[in-house]
Structure 1
Amino acid sequence: MSKEVLKVVNIEKYYGNKGNVTKAINNISFEVEEGEFVGVMGTSGSGKTTLLNCISTIDSVTSGHIFINDNDITELNSKKLAKFRREQLGFIFQDFNLLDTLTAYENIALALTICKVNHKEIDRRIRKIAEKLNINDVLEKYPYEMSGGQKQRIASARAIITNPSLILADEPTGALDSNSAKMLLESLNDLNKNLNATIMMVTHDAFTASYASKILFIKDGKIFNEIIRGNDSRKVFFDRIIEVVTLLGGDARDVF
């Protein structure tokens, strides 16, 4: 029986004051099981990034509950939340967020060092993940010496190195050229298939979303639709995504 990693229950997020309230998230509920690769799509302002921010503990919900591995993160104090974030979540950012003064190896090692993992174990884990993501040749390089695709794969390695329960990616291909984007998506696919990583990725791009196994479509802060890839080829799934995006009222030019 598959394990539930993420459970979102009736969450709402309001911004503003009594006279002018914006409902960024309006009563959303869903679950993500271990090993799922979930895409979240929606037009600009739909609430998809707010949803990701609440799950990633960057933002807090106005009401409702978010459970990650049965831990209700909406009930944790700031100290416990920081520890939880460090140990249970992995992040992949659009602009990489690598530290310029550290080598690729040191950037990946940082999260483990903070968690007080010993040097031998850090080295073992980095060598293993570098092999999987084909980044052995850049481990001693600094970010300015790497291509965008290499930087993004280093960022992916850093996200997975702590064996997080959930990896969260916000528009991970947004700053990449098409070739680098494809390489990153293949890397995420490998993490998902080979390491059983559970991934939740926000994207406006249908090609990027077609790598996921399930897509949640958000409109006006609510779940508008959900589609599951099943045994579809990526091409067939891509076409199904485009159909829903058209129903969403998005401009087709926004999804390529």
Structure 2
Amino acid sequence: MNSILKVENIEKYYGNKENITKAIDDISFRIDEGEFVGIMGPSGSGKTTLLNCISTIDNVSSGKIIINDQDITKLKSKLLDKFRQDELGFIFQDFNLLDTLTCYENIALALTIKGENVHNIDKKIREIASILGIYDVLNKYPYQISGGQKQRVASARAIVKNPALILADEPTGALDSRSARMLLDRLENLNTELKATILMVTHDAFTASYSNRVLFIKDGRIFNELIKGNDNRKEFFNRIMDVVTLLGGDDNNVF
């Protein structure tokens, strides 16, 4: 199977010679096309730094990050911007929608920036809106819709340009439990129906249980890995909670 993401022996240091912090300590893993992978770890474990490096927000101190056969650690300014624009989709905890644009226009913006043919934009927006259940809010502004709807609009914006890899940073963090379940169900459908490749950072075991595989980070290193296999989601959740307990996490979510 084609590997969308290869992380090879990456390290990330902060500070100077007198006070160096190693946020990432020799991490390696890969994600194949069509996988839905979760990353978990306690505060300060390095999971956010790892996501920032993969998303090109931050640079690694050493090692390689290869996305769709392109070593992003070697890309410079303009080429990196274009790569980010074409190959990565982002789903943020705080939505990052523009209140001056309608939901339709927020989604269309991603395609316009990419240079999509204008005749294809409407078709693609309406297709993804139907899958995510936001067709009826396309003409509304973000301030007119619920938090769950905003996150699904943000998800549509990330997915509509068909990126190689979708990066989700605590996507349910600002949602109530009902909205979170609805979003996770939609992300699961995108993964199974459209074969979207998703990497999701979360502190929440229930959210992680929607993924097919979970990497646990502790002190900047991979502590453990769980593969869902033939488990149902409740069984996978219980296994995740066992590892969270070993990590010393404070996750009190119940299924």
TM-score, reference length from structure 1: 0.98
Matches within 5 A, 1:94-243: 94-243=93-242
1:19 aligns with 2:18: yes
Q: Which amino acid aligns with 2:50?
A: L
Distance 1:89 1:29 in 2: 20
- Identity %, equivalent residues: 72
For structure 1, the 5+ residue unaligned runs are none
1:89 aligns with 2:51: no
For structure 2, the 5+ residue unaligned runs are none
Contact 2:91 2:158 in 1 (8 A): yes
Distance 1:107 1:197, change over 3 A: same
Q: CA deviation at 1:129?
A: 0.6
Contact 1:204 1:254 in 2 (8 A): no
Q: CA deviation at 1:251?
A: 2.5
Distance 1:254 1:237, change over 3 A: closer
Distance 1:112 1:119 in 2: 9
- Aligned with 1:28: secondary structure? strand
Off by >6 Å, runs of 4+ in structure 1: none
Distance 2:49 2:254 in 1: 19
Deviations 1:12-37 (A, max 9, x none): 00000001000000000000000000
Q: Which amino acid aligns with 1:7?
A: K
Q: CA deviation at 1:118?
A: 2.1
TM-score, reference length from structure 2: 0.98
Contact 1:148 1:180 in 2 (8 A): yes
Distance 2:130 2:252 in 1: 37
Q: Give the number of equivalent residue pairs.
A: 255
Deviations 1:147-171 (A, max 9, x none): 0111010001000011000000000
Contact 2:205 2:251 in 1 (8 A): no
Contact 1:90 1:159 in 2 (8 A): yes
Distance 1:13 1:214 in 2: 24
